Structure 1
Amino acid sequence: MSYEAVLRRRLAEQLAAGGHLRTRPWRDAVEAVSRHELLRGGFFDRIDGKGPTAWVPVMSHDPLWLERCYEDESLVTQVAGTIVPGDLRGEIMRAPTSSSTMPSLVVRMLEDLGVEDGQHVLEIGTGTGYSTALLCHRLGDGLVTTVEVDDGVSARAGAALGTCGLFPRRVVGDGLAGHMAHAPYDRVIATCGVVTLPYSWIEQTRPGGSVLATVGGWMYSSELARLTVHQDGTASGRFLGGGVSFMLARPQAPPPLGVLPDLSRGNERRTAIGADAVDGWDERFVAQLAAPRAQHVRLDRDGRTEHVLLDVEAGSWAVLWEDGSDGWAVRQGGPDRLWDDVEEHVSRWRADGSPPLERFEITVTPDRQSIAWPRRAE
């Protein structure tokens, strides 16, 4: 057995021991697919310091590169929308825009997808092609369609998959539109996050089929949702829990904050719920339901820490601070009262017993997406 095969088997054993890899077909796929072939172009290592996060390339000639390819970690493969490891010597301080997701999450999602032999799968977000390769091994190339918005990312994945002898139907385009030409699909799986689940994914899925995607908001709390498509063209389901997070699909990423509004003007009051209410994952998810287009930033100003919620497109904002009497104050401006909505939503969720996110239900129709938790009986 080659050293690479030993690494593949060791990874499969680790994923199985962690409860992520649960069935034989997917274990066979993990033991067969060479993740390192999909990372030949290298990846970026994160360098933390006092300033902004920096990234440094790790190339295939690095003595630890091969072993790192089979660790259960996400590996950033592109930053700033265009820069790959081979483009750079030294550090870069820009945001990641593509990565190879940690294998434990990849196989957990594939297991949760509930795919069966002979089913046709649409994958949104090809990335490096690792999950694509696992799908091809499990189902066969002809039953896998994968869509990637970035033509460079798609081309690199296609070349790497070809090296592995895998040739899925590969499409360059907006994954939020799906790929109608080869619909309907039995399963749709997204390896990017969304704020609003596109209805195109629903209408391109057979009745009885499933859509698996990570749904969240611009406060960056998200959960994996599995929906079943119904005969009437709607879909519904629940969240699966576990705090799953992906980079947001580029068309649904938040806009730049730009110049902050004058936070000294607006209506001020005390608030029963402070900014610490959005520290927890579940609480922040609930807050996003009330303000899905709001971003949260912290400012150190006038000797205190202020928490700012800002909806750039609507022009609404709220700033919160501890008022020195074991409470919080809020000042709000713009056409909407962001914190009033958040406060009402979080208070109602708490009054209903703070149900966990896996009890929330999500419904998608041609017109809207709705997310609700079980209400406590009066």
Structure 2
Amino acid sequence: MRGLLHTVSHFLGHEVAAEWRMAAEAAPRHRFLPNRIWLSGDNDRLTSCDREHEPDRWFAAAYADKPVVTQINDGEEQDGPDGLPSSSASAPSIVFRMLELLDLSPGMRVLEIGTGTGFNAALLAHRLGDANVTTIEIDPAMVELARSNLKANGYAPTVVHGDGSLGRSIKAPYDRVVATCSVKRIPYAWINQTQSGGTVLVPWESPWICGGLLRLTIDDDGTGTGRYIPESAFMLMRTQRLDLRLFRDVALEEHVPTESTTMLNPWAVADSAFETQFALGHRLGDLWYAWHQNPDVENVATRLWVATTDGGSWAAVDWDGTEEAQQYAVWQHGPRQVWNEVEAAHQWWLDNDRPGPDRFGLSVTPEGHIAWLDHPANGWPLQ
């Protein structure tokens, strides 16, 4: 654990605070991992690792500064190379960065969304006491695992099986609400259940890109306002998952798209620099993209698909694989011309001196989300 804390200190840029160091030593990470975990291998394919059969590999993963997948396929299927991660233990560096950002003091009450294996809840309980920590987990198997892990290590925070997007009103208001899963929209229950002056800390993702910690301060009028810390990647909250799988779910045989051209290179907006995509995500709101290789289509090496999250409008932009390309074929269908929206968002980004995540913020009210640049006065509704 000491070696891992040294690595975490390097990530933070300073020593781990004494209170969190003591918590980590009292609740070692390996005690909160299941005997079977999944690790990323070649091409990000998951490979299982069993503690009984590969103890050295298992313990190395437990004390590496990397996330560890603790469940795949929502627990319904536990084998196969195509398993989809559904629960994980976050990289320790992110765990302790988020604990630090919460700025906790003795006596504060915390609501955690996403219990997982219980490790983060144990750290919070060690710092604040069991009575001041409530944690919610939607997966029943993970709830039982967390409760078992916490009890075995001498902790007894309130562990609730339920939908974390609803919060937990019984012990509200909380001083802090922290999510260990990412969200595309902040459930207003989290804002409403946090006292004035309190903090909501949540990993953010847009349909366009995943990444960014959002720290909101709750005002007297019930508005949460804050800025981003651009470093995180978490699993999306299950109740906000998108069921569409471009392109087959949006481009139907009966669609008759319009054809045009664009001077905007599709690579300039999709799979471009994180800063670019982060900005576009806040301008485009409900748009997302996927690449599709087209080896059987003449003069098309790659096709970029862009669509609304409801699948009602879509666009496809063709790239022929050459560096000399100056124009790209565009196909669009639906009530919205979504590629035109992408072009406008990219131009806005250029016109505003290519802003990065540190210039963006978000305000959350009962009516919705307002994204803004530099100051809340420079805002627009986030779709």
* TM-score over 0.5 for the pair: yes
- Per the alignment, residue 265 of structure 2 pairs with 274
When structure 1 is superposed on structure 2, of 298-307 and 358-367 the one drifting more is 298-307
Letter in 1 for 2:45: T
For 1:13 and 1:30, the matched residues in 2 are separated by 12
- Per the alignment, residue 161 of structure 1 pairs with 150
Deviation at 1:234, TM superposition (A): 0.7
- Per the alignment, residue 305 of structure 1 pairs with 302
- Per the alignment, residue 370 of structure 1 pairs with 370
Deviation at 1:135, TM superposition (A): 0.7
Deviation at 1:67, TM superposition (A): 3.2
1:362 match: secondary structure: strand
When structure 1 is superposed on structure 2, of 34-43 and 14-23 the one drifting more is 14-23
Deviation at 1:141, TM superposition (A): 1.0
Deviation at 1:352, TM superposition (A): 0.7
- Per the alignment, residue 179 of structure 1 pairs with 168
Structure 2 residue 59 is matched with structure 1 residue 62 = no
Contact 2:207 2:309 in 1 (8 A): no
For 2:305 and 2:53, the matched residues in 1 are separated by 45
Deviation at 1:231, TM superposition (A): 0.4
Deviation at 1:60, TM superposition (A): 4.2
1:72 match: secondary structure: coil
Contact 2:5 2:16 in 1 (8 A): no
When structure 1 is superposed on structure 2, of 207-216 and 295-304 the one drifting more is 295-304
Deviations 1:163-195 (A, max 9, x none): 100111111111111111111100010000111
Structure 2 unaligned residues grouped into runs of 5+: 379-383
Aligned 1:188-203 pairs, distance under 5 A:
188-203=177-192
For 1:361 and 1:79, the matched residues in 2 are separated by 33
Structure 2 residue 95 is matched with structure 1 residue 121 = no
Structure 2 residue 25 is matched with structure 1 residue 37 = no
Letter in 2 for 1:289: H
Letter in 2 for 1:93: D
Deviation at 1:16, TM superposition (A): 1.3
- Per the alignment, residue 350 of structure 2 pairs with 350
Letter in 2 for 1:72: D
- Per the alignment, residue 98 of structure 1 pairs with 87
For 1:255 and 1:236, the matched residues in 2 are separated by 30
- Per the alignment, residue 135 of structure 1 pairs with 124
When structure 1 is superposed on structure 2, of 287-296 and 140-149 the one drifting more is 287-296
1:18 match: secondary structure: helix
- Per the alignment, residue 53 of structure 1 pairs with 45
Deviation at 1:41, TM superposition (A): 2.8
Q: Flag the 1:283–1:27 CA change in 2: closer, same or farther, 3 A.
A: same
- Per the alignment, residue 381 of structure 2 pairs with none
Contact 1:274 1:329 in 2 (8 A): no
Percent identity of equivalent pairs: 33
Q: Kindly report the root-mean-square deviation, in angstroms, between the aligned alpha carbons of the 2 structures.
A: 2.2
Letter in 2 for 1:274: N
For 1:191 and 1:373, the matched residues in 2 are separated by 26
Contact 2:318 2:330 in 1 (8 A): yes
For 2:2 and 2:239, the matched residues in 1 are separated by 38
- Per the alignment, residue 112 of structure 1 pairs with 101
Q: Which runs of 4+ in 1 moved over 6 A?
A: none
Contact 1:316 1:336 in 2 (8 A): yes
Q: Flag the 1:104–1:83 CA change in 2: closer, same or farther, 3 A.
A: farther
Q: Flag the 1:38–1:325 CA change in 2: closer, same or farther, 3 A.
A: closer
Contact 2:258 2:332 in 1 (8 A): yes
For 1:42 and 1:325, the matched residues in 2 are separated by 49
2:170 match: secondary structure: helix
Letter in 2 for 1:132: A
1:232 to 212, 221, 224: 221
1:340 match: secondary structure: helix
2:73 to 63, 74, 80: 80
When structure 1 is superposed on structure 2, of 121-130 and 59-68 the one drifting more is 59-68
Structure 2 residue 6 is matched with structure 1 residue 13 = yes
Q: State the TM-score, normalizing by the size of structure 1.
A: 0.89
How many residues are matched? 362
For 1:273 and 1:197, the matched residues in 2 are separated by 32
Deviations 1:177-222 (A, max 9, x none): 1111111100010000111111100000000000001121223332
Aligned 1:142-157 pairs, distance under 5 A:
142-157=131-146
1:119 match: secondary structure: coil
Letter in 2 for 1:81: D
Structure 2 residue 159 is matched with structure 1 residue 170 = yes
Deviation at 1:370, TM superposition (A): 1.4
Structure 2 residue 236 is matched with structure 1 residue 245 = no
Letter in 1 for 2:266: A
Q: State the TM-score, normalizing by the size of structure 2.
A: 0.88
For 1:365 and 1:186, the matched residues in 2 are separated by 18
